[in-house]
Amino acid sequence: MELEKLLKSKKIYFFQLRLKNYNEKQIIQIGKKVKLICKKYKTKLIINDNPYIAKKINADGCHLGQKDMKLNEAKKIINNKILGVTCHNSRKLVKKAINVKPTYIAIGAFFKSRTKKIKYKADINLLKYVKKLTKIPVVTIGGISNKNYKKLLLNNANFLAISGYIWNNKKYKPQEAMEKLK
């Protein structure tokens, strides 16, 4: 399984299970299998969008988009687990999130992406702003690849969310793509 090969590399600290076109039963079924693999390699499993599913499979946390459940409600469901929120390119959403104290704040998209249609374009100035405003870790998202990731790290992004470059790469298999991120 490709996921297991990637997690063996010890470079992935968090894995977000993002299954938009699956029903709850399917996500739970897949999530339980992924949880076992993540546990084996000491990688934290984050479930996208749904804290109830995260709780059912005993995931390490949940990531919420702006159209998902409110952070305060999600905190009550998953208790002290990891809880992140997307703030797109909005300083207003970042400030609002900080008040609720998520585990991390995700901002972006920083670059053109094939994973999903980009509605919100972020830039390095937003990353610098968020880093000055809070000590809450920042996850950068959107079109991150071996050609542009260093710019985000040099500007103190705590984590990089990399999806399309790994899983939908026409040039490299997932393991090869990971090896290009040095």
- The C-alpha atoms of residue 54 and residue 106 are separated, in whole angstroms, by 18
Q: What count of Cα atoms within 13 Å lies in the side-chain half-sphere of residue 89? A: 13
Q: Which residues of 145-176 are buried (b: 16+ CB within 10 A; e: fewer)?
A: bbeebeebeeeebebbbbbbbbeebeeeebee
Domain edges within the chain? 1-83, 87-182
The two structure tokens encoding residue 67: 């159209």
Confidence of residue 159 (pLDDT cuts 50, 70, 90): very high
Find tokens 């990637």 and name the residue.
6
pLDDT at 113: 77
pTM of the model: 0.91
Domain 1-83 matches domain 87-182 at the CATH topology level: yes
What is the rounded CA–CA span in Å between residue 63 and residue 102?
10
Distance CA 56, CA 175 (A): 30
Instruction: Give the mean pLDDT of the chain.
Output: 92
Tens digits of per-residue pLDDT, 96-120? 999 999 999 999 999 987 766 778 8
Rounded Cα distance between 72 and 180, Å, is 38
Indicate the class that CATH gives domain 87-182.
alpha beta
**Tens-place pLDDT, residues 80-96:** 999 999 999 999 999 99
First-to-last C-alpha distance (Å) of the chain: 23
What average pLDDT does range 121-147 have in this prediction?
Answer: 95
**pLDDT at 1 > cutoff 70:** no
**CA 109 distance to own-chain centroid:** 12
| pLDDT surpasses 80 at 54 | yes
Whether the pLDDT of residue 31 is over 70: the answer is yes
CATH superfamily of 1-83: Aldolase class I (3.20.20.70)
